[in-house]
């Protein structure tokens, strides 16, 4: 028996439309994937969905009206970039049609439990990076913060810094996805970053020395000196340190270099 697979364009709207179409089909759907991330097998019947924003919005509005965690599961599930999130959202919607908002509390269901874990993972990582992102002051006074999150949490982090640093201009740059957001003290917008600049930051964990302001060089030396001064070398325990702060987060921390 062929497996019914729905494919979408990889956007949140595409995912929502594919889930909506799969639920309406009444077929035994085996998977919902972004087209670029799926390799068809010999017995797969693939149905490509051309994104309809109205269809995706209708489903998302339905999930929001349910209140509870349904809409959050959809958003954070997408931001987690989990390859199987489509089929789990499909089952979430099917359960919501039967049980309403209570469906998100059915933790005995594999898909509900999986979406809850994904949502917690995204929320935890976004919260963690609001305290771990280190902004560098560039020569022109603009502040630049590179980071490499596991999940696509740049939007959550930008919302945080838009409130904390609303009177300053800054750039948040997700190096892994090469996605940057610029706050000009008035609005938040996506921008492109020079590829050679990005490659340097990705390789060395720091922007080119020539792009740093004199003030930034001074602050970095001051911060490293402070960090070294408060450290007790006799009690240094890197294994314990990695338990509290995994090493994958060290790359862009000035004090850890």
Q: For 80-131, what is each residue's pLDDT tens digit?
A: 999 999 999 999 999 999 999 999 999 999 999 999 999 999 999 999 999 9
Residues 141 and 116 in one domain: no
Residues 11 and 112 in one domain: yes
What does pTM read for this prediction? 0.90
Across 4-24, average pLDDT: 96
Q: Find out whether 196 and 212 touch, Cβ atoms under 8 Å.
A: no
Residues 154 and 249 in one domain: yes
> What φ, ψ does residue 127 adopt, rounded to 5°?
-65, -40
Give the pLDDT of residue 105: 94
Position 151 pLDDT exceeds 70: yes
| Single residue among 124, 155, 185 that ends a domain in this structure | 124
Q: How confident is the model at residue 251 (pLDDT cuts 50, 70, 90)?
A: very high
Q: What is the pLDDT of residues 183-220, one digit of tens each?
A: 999 999 999 999 999 999 999 999 999 999 999 999 99
Across 216-234, average pLDDT: 89
Alpha-carbon distance of 7 to 47, in angstroms, equals: 6
Give the pLDDT of residue 132: 95
**Of 59, 78, 74, whose CA–CA distance to 11 is shortest?**
78
Residue ranges of E strands in the chain: 3-8, 29-34, 44-48, 136-137, 143-147, 170-174, 179-183, 188-191
| Single residue among 89, 124, 159 that ends a domain in this structure | 124
Position 222 pLDDT exceeds 70: yes
Give the pLDDT of residue 144: 98
Q: Which residues contact 120 (CB under 8 A, 6 or more apart)?
A: none
Residues 27 and 104 in one domain: yes
Q: Find out whether 44 and 3 touch, Cβ atoms under 8 Å.
A: yes
Residues 93 and 25 in one domain: yes
Give the pLDDT of residue 1: 54
Q: Find out whether 59 and 16 touch, Cβ atoms under 8 Å.
A: yes
Give the pLDDT of residue 169: 97
Containing structural domain, residue 197: 133-256
Residues 158 and 94 in one domain: no
Domain count, the chain: 2
CA distances for 37 relative to 10, 50, 51, 75, 185, angstroms: 9, 16, 17, 19, 37
Alpha-carbon distance of 241 to 140, in angstroms, equals: 36
Residues 119 and 204 in one domain: no
Structure tokens at 1: 């028996």
Alpha-carbon distance of 141 to 19, in angstroms, equals: 45
Give the pLDDT of residue 29: 93
Residues 155 and 214 in one domain: yes
Position 173 pLDDT exceeds 80: yes
Residues 147 and 250 in one domain: yes
Residue with tokens 């990695």: 242
Structure tokens at 223: 């911060």
Alpha-carbon distance of 241 to 245, in angstroms, equals: 6
Residues 150 and 211 in one domain: yes
| Single residue among 124, 145, 174 that ends a domain in this structure | 124
Residues 147 and 107 in one domain: no
Q: What is the pLDDT of residues 28-86, one digit of tens each?
A: 899 999 999 898 887 889 999 999 999 999 999 999 999 889 999 999 999 999 999 99
> What φ, ψ does residue 138 adopt, rounded to 5°?
-85, 175
The radius of gyration computed from the CA coordinates of the chain, to the nearest angstrom, equals: 22
Determine the number of helices (DSSP H) and then strands (DSSP E) in the chain: 9, 8
Residues 55 and 168 in one domain: no
């Amino acid at each position: 028996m062929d497996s019914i697979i729905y494919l979408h364009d990889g956007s949140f709207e595409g995912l929502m439309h594919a889930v909506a179409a799969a639920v309406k089909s009444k077929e035994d759907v085996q998977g919902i994937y972004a087209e670029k991330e799926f390799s068809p097998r010999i017995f797969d019947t693939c149905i490509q969905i051309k994104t309809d924003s109205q269809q995706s919005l209708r489903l998302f509005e339905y999930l929001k009206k349910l209140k509870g965690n349904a809409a959050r599961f959809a958003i954070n599930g997408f931001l987690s970039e989990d390859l199987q999130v489509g089929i789990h959202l499909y089952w979430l919607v099917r359960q919501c049609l039967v049980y309403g908002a209570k469906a998100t509390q059915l933790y005995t269901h594999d898909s509900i439990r999986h979406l809850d874990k994904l949502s917690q993972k995204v929320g935890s990582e976004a919260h963690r990076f609001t305290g771990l992102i280190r902004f560098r002051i560039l020569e022109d006074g603009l502040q630049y913060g590179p980071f490499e999150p596991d999940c696509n949490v740049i939007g959550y982090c930008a919302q945080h810094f838009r409130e904390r640093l609303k009177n300053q201009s800054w750039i948040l740059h997700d190096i892994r996805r090469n996605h940057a957001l610029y706050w000009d003290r008035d609005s938040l917008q996506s921008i492109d970053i020079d590829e050679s600049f990005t490659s340097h930051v990705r390789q060395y964990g720091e922007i080119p020395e020539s792009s740093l302001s004199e003030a930034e060089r001074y602050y970095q030396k001051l911060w490293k000196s402070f960090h070294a001064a408060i450290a007790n070398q006799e009690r240094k325990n890197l294994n314990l340190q990695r338990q509290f702060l995994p090493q994958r987060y060290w790359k862009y921390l000035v004090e850890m270099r």
